Structure 1
């Protein structure tokens, strides 16, 4: 739990340096509203309190994480950085003593994502660069090289993906961050404007209903549980995210579980949604 203002600043310093590869006083100025003098003072104080973590690189005009860097205020899990970058910063704020409620949070094991992968991805995304990457999918574990243009990071509920234009597939694809190998290689700016990402720009609505094999009482319980209207739950989503949302809701569109209580919900407008599923 980050409790003090200096700790919050130390947390941000490590987060930026570790995942983006370079920390400047401007980061602290931007995110904490500090003067340049105060921001520089805070960085120097961090260096004094945590010797050997960063070193100054004159050619890059900033502090870089040293080879011996060890997270002291961050977790080292890429989810922490991406949640913060996407605006989900509540976990960085302290909670007053006596105000907390007893609770527990299920924490799946972190994915194996290296800063050596994230730093080039972030840079390419911000500057519209092409990257050569080494990627291994579960369906093709032998891995292959390809050139991509990163577009955005996407949280699918269970993990973070990178949505990117793939020159090899000639289409937009979702890449699981933990399946990149080695360090992506910059290939310069993208050569021409990319085609429209129709799956991203198209919106649709998933219509979920209780499995009709359930008893009327069980169906009524589900309708109440999900606050359904007329026995239906309508979930707007981008077409590119429809499959992920169904997975998160544990709704199978390929095969009904033999036990209707196991799946509970079905996709009522399957024919409409099917073209966008994978």
Structure 2
């Protein structure tokens, strides 16, 4: 048993756990998680490699995670064992579609379409220095324009996080003009930046970033029971003993407005079929201090 353990260790050491290896393992887990069956053909098509190389990729995965996959001879492929645990994050369907469509050529994969932000892509020249400040925790002087101040004006900020709200990219930063943490839309920077030393404020100082809220949603009570049940299915709600459907979503207080817009509960619709979901009344009261 000891010799077997040494052999397994040597096998693992012979496989370089590089970025490429992580990408291969991620792809394997995506196929297992979403399709339920992995074959060498999946890997051959995606990575444009030979069958023998594809088999080696699977064996490399099994060397690191020996009990995660089992071969099903009737399906002629691998499937997850009851010990399978994702190591690379798999529960986002969008990630699966994006990764598998990169080089898949079969007709099946041409049947997927993912909506992306309709806004123009961000120019790298406008944000490269912002990204540099995030990486090195710099305090920087930048030019920024807003709806209230349409001309570019100097802002000294200490950025700590990038945020994508589903449509636009923002950077969360401490603003010395407002003496508070604010969200800045990346496209509104002019690209010119002066480093002013090390940042004095970061995530730990951002109270709204650190505060976790629990957002409870439920079907609009004006809907019929059958319609409410369908809406509950759409939003993965749980039926409670009282017969009500609810779901609780965790978010940072700093990101609450973005979540409410995504859920379309930031405004009220006269038509219940258009409204579909509402914030639970008790939840709405708790969220009031964090809403604009």
How do residues 40-59 of structure 1 correspond to structure 2 at under 5 angstroms?
none
2:258 aligned residue (244, 250, 257) = 244
How do residues 57-206 of structure 1 correspond to structure 2 at under 5 angstroms?
90=99, 93-95=102-104, 97=106, 100-111=109-120, 113-191=122-200, 196-206=205-215
* Worse-matched range after superposition: 151-160 or 140-149: 140-149
- Output the TM-score relative to the length of structure 1: 0.61
Q: Deviations over 1:10-42 (max 9, x none)?
A: xxxxxxxxxxxxxxxxxxxx7458xxxxxxxxx
Q: CA–CA distance in 1 between the matches of 2:176 and 2:259? A: 27
Q: CA–CA distance in 1 between the matches of 2:247 and 2:201? A: 42
Aligned length: 193
1:233 aligned residue (237, 247, 252) = 247
Q: How big is the shift at 1:260? A: 1.9
Unaligned runs of 5+ in 2: 1-17, 22-94, 240-244
Q: Kindly name which structure, 1 or 2, has the bigger radius of gyration based on alpha carbons.
A: 2
Task: Give the match for residue 73 of structure 1.
Answer: none
Q: How big is the shift at 1:122? A: 1.5
Unaligned runs of 5+ in 1: 1-29, 34-87
Q: How big is the shift at 1:261? A: 1.6
Q: How big is the shift at 1:257? A: 1.4
Report the 3-state secondary structure (helix = DSSP H, G, I; strand = E; otherwise coil) of the residue aligned with 1:137. Answer: coil
- Output the TM-score relative to the length of structure 2: 0.59
Task: Give the match for residue 256 of structure 1.
Answer: 268
Greater helix share, 1 or 2? 2
Task: Give the match for residue 270 of structure 1.
Answer: 284
Q: CA RMSD in A?
A: 2.6
Report the 3-state secondary structure (helix = DSSP H, G, I; strand = E; otherwise coil) of the residue aligned with 2:126. Answer: helix
Q: How big is the shift at 1:106? A: 2.3
Q: How big is the shift at 1:176? A: 0.9
Q: CA–CA distance in 1 between the matches of 2:120 and 2:265? A: 24
Q: 1 or 2 for the larger relative contact order (CA 8 Å, sep ≥6)?
A: 1
